[in-house]
Amino acid sequence: MDLLLKIDLNKLEPPISYGNKIMLIGSCFTEHIGNALAESKFSVLQNPNGILFGPDSVCKSLLSYIENKKYTQEDLFQLNEVWNSWQHHSRYSNINADDAIRIINESQQQAHDFLKKADWLIITLGSSFSYRLTQQANLASESISNGVANCHRAPANWFEKDMLTIDETSSMLEDCLKRLKAFNPNLKFIFTVSPVRHIRDGVVENNRSKARLIEAVHYITTKFESAHYFPAYELVIDVLRDYRFYDIDLVHPNYPATEFVLEKFAENCIDDKSRELMQEVKKIVIARKHKAFQPATKAHQQFLINHFEKAKELQLKYPFLNLGDEISYFSQT
């Protein structure tokens, strides 16, 4: 008896392959996909602004990469002794404004250069809710009408919260993709909607928010031949649909659920030869993580020698792989 709901998964054409450059941007679920691809030694750049949830912040960030925007202190604000950017995750914040600006602009330059040559852009949208600054945010550098990507635990009365309509989301995504295609005509897109529930918004409001994202994304896939949809949301919510597949907070998918989605992503979005190579790379990566209780033993030294040879052979055979860390580690005999 099959206890899982059947779902039609369309094979991506053309599929992702090694040698492709892949940028990922969006919610925390983006980083599950990005980390898996990075560990398999794909050429990946993920979330140059940090985690982003809404389509407005995603689009604003992508357009800033196209323009290669340079941030200055006027783009920052100080709260509790720390300098922050409304458009960046707190991992870019710093007690020193110059350091924060330097870190942000280094990421901007890297994103601009990578996006210009990227083959794929994977966008994971998390929420339709948009946050805008109010008159109470007198420390803010942004104009009152501008949306923010991260609230940085600022007082609640600094923000006005709205749910973007389907038309608003569709329009900003369409404009963004047109700009991206003009910047990089070879760029292709994969959209996903995060299966993480935003329960703080309310259960009903979360479902309304996700529904608007799904509808807007499907509009985009009909307008752009290079845009595709991968149903990560449906795989968790409709196929797994059991609290066994959620973390203790009952909101975030747990490890088995994430692995299930990643497995389906690989099966349907990555070509056969690359999936075979992923298995070879995985063996090297797992061996690199091995912690020896007795590193001085002959057995462990032979283990290092064997995997050094395997990693070196793989690197020579597939020059696009970056096994430098693994080769360096295994050479410690």
Its pTM stands at: 0.94
Domain coverage including residue 310: 272-333
pLDDT at 137: 78
pLDDT at 138: 62
Q: How confident is the model at residue 6 (pLDDT cuts 50, 70, 90)?
A: confident
CA nearest neighbour of 263 among 232, 227, 288: 232
In this predicted model, what pLDDT tens digit does every residue of 75-97 receive, in sequence order?
A: 999 999 999 999 999 999 999 99
211 with 288, same domain: the answer is no
Residue 122 placed within a domain: yes
CA nearest neighbour of 47 among 93, 119, 104, 4: 104
pLDDT of residue 208 exceeding 70:
yes
284 with 194, same domain: the answer is no
> Counting Cβ atoms within 10 Å, is residue 127 exposed (0-12), middle (13-18) or buried (19+)?
buried
pLDDT of residue 141 exceeding 60:
no
Mean pLDDT, rounded, of the chain: 93
pLDDT at 7: 86
32 with 132, same domain: the answer is yes
In this predicted model, what pLDDT tens digit does every residue of 231-242 receive, in sequence order?
A: 999 999 999 988
Mean pLDDT confidence for 319-331: 93
Residue 218 placed within a domain: yes
pLDDT at 39: 95
Domain boundary, last residue among 244, 270, 296: 270
80 with 90, same domain: the answer is yes
Q: Are 33 and 122 a contacting pair, CB within 8 Å?
A: yes
Lowest mean pLDDT among 1-10, 265-274, 277-286: 1-10
Lowest mean pLDDT among 28-32, 80-84, 220-224, 311-315: 28-32
Q: How confident is the model at residue 203 (pLDDT cuts 50, 70, 90)?
A: very high
Question: Judging by DSSP bridges, how do beta strands 43-46 and 159-163 pair with one another?
Answer: unpaired
> Counting Cβ atoms within 10 Å, is residue 5 exposed (0-12), middle (13-18) or buried (19+)?
exposed
Q: How many domains does the chain have?
A: 2
pLDDT of residue 269 exceeding 90:
yes
Distance between CA atoms of residues 214 and 68, nearest Å: 30
Q: Residues with Cβ < 8 Å from 8, sequence gap 6 or more?
A: none
